[in-house]
Amino acid sequence: MSVSDRETFLEQPHVAVLAIARADGEPPLASPVWYDYERGGDVIVTISAESEKATRLAASPAASMCVQTTDLPYRFVTVSGPVTLGPADSAIRRRIAARYLPPELVDGYLESAEDEAQILTVRLAPRSWRSNDFSKLG
């Protein structure tokens, strides 16, 4: 994919898989996440401050994230890079929820989700990209 194609793809609300290294030699921790992305910026995810993801990212602040289509023609984009952890941001949480839920469900989802004090904002700075669009294969 071209730079523009992969950024356009990443701007769409796919469910992503966030992968984080484990220092003990075990396979990476990988879990599905909702995310936000704007062209040229960081990938933004929110996670529980009490989660294994938070513990692993605090110990080793780098991650990879893969998004893909599940229908033909298959396409995927993977980004990897350093991460920064910060406090929850209600505007970011709302923006992410609104990407994945119909408008009438956003408020209820945010009210039922964890207390904002227990949420971290993860910013993944894309340093390396891998992508493929199988519709472009001859």
Q: What is the mean pLDDT of the chain?
A: 93
C-alpha–C-alpha distance, residues 92 and 113, integer Å:
14
Give the residue-averaged pLDDT of 72-96.
95
Name, in order, each residue with C-beta under 8 angstroms of 31's C-beta and a sequence gap of 6 or more: 17, 18, 53
Q: What are 29-73's pLDDT values in tens digits?
A: 999 999 999 999 999 999 999 999 999 999 999 999 999 999 999
**Domain covering 3-136 assigned CATH 2.20.25.90 in the classification:** no
Query: Measured between alpha carbons, how far apart are the two ends of the chain, in Å?
Result: 14
Give the residue-averaged pLDDT of 65-83.
96
pLDDT tier at 135, thresholds 50, 70, 90? confident
Model pLDDT, residue 138: 64
Peptide bond into 32 cis (omega under 30): no
Model pLDDT, residue 137: 76
Q: Where are the domains of the chain?
A: 3-136
Exposure b/e, 108-123, CB count within 10 A at least 16 = b: eebeeeeeeeebbbbb
